[in-house]
């Protein structure tokens, strides 16, 4: 459920705000809903990875992967017809890691607040 909520809210917010809005979104939702650090990181990573790869596919397939192949060339990837797949995977991994670590930070912040309130 957390994966779906992070993906939907991030999708909507990215239409109006910069790409890095995924970080506060994952932080806040993981703070609120995550039951463990593993769930917080995994849900946030998977949500943004799937969202960015999916949106990349929607954008690149109709134009025969022209832009993604050019980005692959700029990144000095080997000259193959699969550069666009590597570019999509790289962007998904980068976004997923940014979101995953932010989600983990949200969960750990919640645990720190609980510890502070209990006086330990």
Please name which of 23, 40, 41 lies closest in space to residue 32, comparing C-alpha atoms: 40
Domain ranges of the chain: 37-120
- What pLDDT was estimated at residue 26? 96
Burial class (CB in 10 A: 0-12, 13-18, 19+), 16: exposed
C-alpha 96/C-alpha 89 separation (Å) is 10
> For the chain, how far is it from start to end, CA to CA, in angstroms?
32
- What pLDDT was estimated at residue 84? 84
C-alpha 59/C-alpha 41 separation (Å) is 27
Sign of CA dihedral 60, 2, 112, 14: positive
- What pLDDT was estimated at residue 117? 87
The residue written with tokens 């995953």 in the block is: 100
Per-residue pLDDT of the chain (120 residues; tens, 9 = 90+): 999 999 999 999 999 999 999 999 999 999 999 999 999 999 999 999 999 999 999 988 888 888 888 888 888 887 777 788 888 999 999 999 999 999 999 999 999 999 898 876
- What pLDDT was estimated at residue 94? 96
Structure tokens, 3: 């994966």
């Amino acid at each position: 459920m957390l994966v779906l909520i992070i993906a939907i809210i991030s999708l909507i917010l990215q239409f109006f705000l910069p790409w890095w809005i995924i970080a506060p979104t994952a932080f806040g939702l993981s703070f609120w809903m995550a039951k463990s650090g593993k769930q917080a990181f995994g849900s946030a990573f998977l949500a943004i990875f799937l969202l960015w790869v999916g949106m990349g596919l929607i954008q690149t397939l109709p134009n025969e992967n022209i832009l993604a192949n050019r980005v692959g060339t700029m990144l000095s990837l080997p000259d193959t017809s699969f550069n666009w797949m590597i570019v999509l995977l790289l962007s998904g991994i980068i976004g997923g890691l940014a979101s995953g670590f932010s989600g983990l930070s949200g969960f750990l912040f919640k645990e720190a607040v609980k510890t502070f309130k209990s006086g330990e």
